[in-house]
Structure 1
């Protein structure tokens, strides 16, 4: 097992995927970057801590320590855009969300290097996800894959204005059935946080690739505006985890995931 890939095997019919919280950049990649702080600025800060309750409710958890700057395990490995016509970042991003170059001039990864990263870091993450889906499908007729994300509330290049606090994505209903989607929407509506379903963020490659409601896999993505649980970083400052600030949102998320487990078991 690689040291950067973390897999907790639970018994409940729920997998929490955390693909973007990593800040580790392998040395052979780091030497070509402008700076480590710039390369980790767009991380999904503190998502493992925010979902720290997942194991205690029986969920499986799959997460990577590898930064999305090295390779984004939530992008189509073919390189095809998930949001045609809209600004987004690629499989091996060469710029930040704010369109600032990540690599020193002339050092952006070429195809051979991108392929190496796919083999070294992308494939093991998805092998782990597929393994957990297959293992749990032997126990449960249906499973829920919950892809957990966060982002700064204001990123002008990616969306206008301030993002709602909670952004549920189901690939416009293709990756999850009506019932689990409704459960998530009820919890969002009762939370007091602003929310939307299938707005700017409809789900990344993980949600779209694995979601197969007719086949028993319901995949949902939740993109959380970071103001909902933390003080968003100023400039390239590294934020600090503040559990008291996150407690209200954690209560909402725990109730949401617990109800998803109960619904899936009832099937």
Structure 2
């Protein structure tokens, strides 16, 4: 018998995230992987009407590992250990769906956002393909406990990495790392690209940086789109403040390039993608700082 209260986040998620920090940071970049967590707490699985395999449809499987090579070039990488289906840090802290909870939400909750209405708030009601996650409604205390013990520590750590990078280099470039399903949705037309870069249509990142990364990926033979269908989520929008010295750019990778999406195992393409990302990161780390600094000097 356990004394752990139902609304206490699982000890399996202690610590809630990992940070790979180089002994000496060599470039003004921070890498973030908010959706690659793959520790599904036992009590969460018991609450869910879905099996663990179905829950993983929302997971950016192995994205943190794809960017390990880039991090080893001398920049920090923060990655959530908890899954997106359990808590989504790429949302406002209190984007909560009233349909999911047994009691009233606090007044400060945002229950009307497009993401909440779609079932994908801070505590998701559905997985990526629209299946309901929970057997019954949750208590609000449980949601607030997840947010307090997982969400806020993750963002505090991310903010600290951004602040230390700014202190060392004068500015920071945040790359928010994600993957996207290859399967077509009812709203999409034509095949999914290999990569989608989202900079909130230029509001979160210097467009020259976005174009440089797009052109570099294209030179490697990849099909790249900008801002459609993903312009960047909360992390890109919240942290991307070029006028305050923080550029934020979201990168979505087509899972078909590296993953067996039915079995959640890496395909032979994994090593190619990881190698290409590491080589492209090396180019970014060496060339983009001069680009940003020249613009700052001109202004």
Normalising by structure 2, report the TM-score: 0.80
Count residues in correspondence. 260
The structure-2 alpha-carbon separation of the partners of 1:203 and 1:88, relative to structure 1 and needing over 3 Å to count, comes to farther
**Is 2:90 the counterpart of 1:74?**
yes
Task: Determine which of 23, 27, 33 is the counterpart of 2:48.
Answer: 33
Q: Specify the alignment match of 2:79 in structure 1.
A: 63
Q: What is the Cα deviation at residue 264 of structure 1?
A: 4.7
**Is 2:152 the counterpart of 1:128?**
no
**Is 2:128 the counterpart of 1:97?**
yes
Q: How does 1:10-29 map to 2 (within 5 A)?
A: 10=22, 11=25, 12-29=27-44
Inter-partner Cα distance in structure 1 for 2:142 and 2:187: 27
Q: Specify the alignment match of 1:198 in structure 2.
A: 227
Q: What is the Cα deviation at residue 21 of structure 1?
A: 0.8
Q: What is the Cα deviation at residue 156 of structure 1?
A: 1.7
Inter-partner Cα distance in structure 2 for 1:99 and 1:180: 35
Inter-partner Cα distance in structure 2 for 1:92 and 1:98: 16
Inter-partner Cα distance in structure 1 for 2:151 and 2:288: 29
Per mean C-alpha deviation after superposition, the further-off stretch among 182-191 and 11-20 is 182-191
Inter-partner Cα distance in structure 1 for 2:124 and 2:79: 19
Q: Specify the alignment match of 1:114 in structure 2.
A: 143
User: Residue by residue, what CA displacement relative to the aligned partner does 1:60-114 show, whole Å, maximum 9, x if unpaired?
Assistant: 000011011110111122315775799562211111111111111x2x3343222
Q: What is the Cα deviation at residue 174 of structure 1?
A: 0.6
Q: Specify the alignment match of 2:99 in structure 1.
A: none
Rg (Cα) greater in structure: 2
Q: Specify the alignment match of 2:265 in structure 1.
A: 240
Normalising by structure 1, report the TM-score: 0.88
Inter-partner Cα distance in structure 2 for 1:54 and 1:231: 23
**RMSD over aligned Cα atoms:** 2.3
The structure-2 alpha-carbon separation of the partners of 1:208 and 1:241, relative to structure 1 and needing over 3 Å to count, comes to same
**Is 2:195 the counterpart of 1:179?**
no
Inter-partner Cα distance in structure 2 for 1:180 and 1:88: 33
The gaps in structure 1 that reach 5 residues or longer are none
Inter-partner Cα distance in structure 2 for 1:144 and 1:88: 31
SS where residue 169 of structure 2 aligns? Answer: coil
Inter-partner Cα distance in structure 2 for 1:264 and 1:139: 16
Q: What is the Cα deviation at residue 210 of structure 1?
A: 0.4
**Is 2:70 the counterpart of 1:51?**
no
Task: Determine which of 129, 152, 168 is the counterpart of 2:197.
Answer: 168
**Is 2:162 the counterpart of 1:138?**
no
Inter-partner Cα distance in structure 1 for 2:278 and 2:182: 22
Task: Determine which of 3, 6, 16 is the counterpart of 2:18.
Answer: 6
Task: Determine which of 250, 254, 259 is the counterpart of 1:230.
Answer: 259
